[in-house]
Amino acid sequence: MKKLVIAALLVVGMTTFAQERMGERKEKLTPEQRVNLQVKKLTKDLSLNEKQVQEIKVLVAKEAEKREAKRAEMDAKRASGAKPSKEEMKAHKAKAQEDQAAMDANMKKILSADQYAKWVQKREERKEKMEEKRDDRKKGKGAPQEVK
């Protein structure tokens, strides 16, 4: 009986510790911090000059504001319990593609040809990683996740 109680306490303790560690990794950054982090990463990856850094910072900040507004709108819809219709989903997807095309055009204006090619490559790599993660989550749904 003592061994069972000790084992139960160990499991509860390990679970609590794992949840605390996961919470530490997902710190909430302010929008400004996220913009600065993204600009720093782009500066490092693409070797941007000061003028490019300033232009990209403005562009990324505008995109972040749009994203936050859209997120707030979607959260409000979810809170009301309304599910988006197929037409709304199509419109949302078309708007996202339009926004992506505008972002591409702006980045092409700011970056050199080599920097732009590298930026597109990095974006594709991120997209592939996100798809892999999504697929892994779909496969693993219902199955216990490994604690790292």
Q: What is the pLDDT of residue 141?
A: 64
Q: In this predicted model, which residue has the larger pLDDT, 141 or 118?
A: 118
Query: Which tens digit of pLDDT belongs to each residue from 73-125?
Result: 888 888 888 787 888 889 888 998 999 999 999 999 999 999 999 999 999 99
Domain boundaries, the chain: 29-124
Mean predicted lDDT score pLDDT of the chain: 83
Tell me the average pLDDT across 49-58.
93
Q: How far is CA 7 from the centre of its chain?
A: 38
- Tokens 């732009």 locate to 116
Confidence bin at 142 (pLDDT 50/70/90): low
d(CA 74, CA 72) in angstroms, rounded, equals 5
d(CA 10, CA 44) in angstroms, rounded, equals 44
Query: Which tens digit of pLDDT belongs to each residue from 2-21?
Result: 777 777 766 767 776 665 55
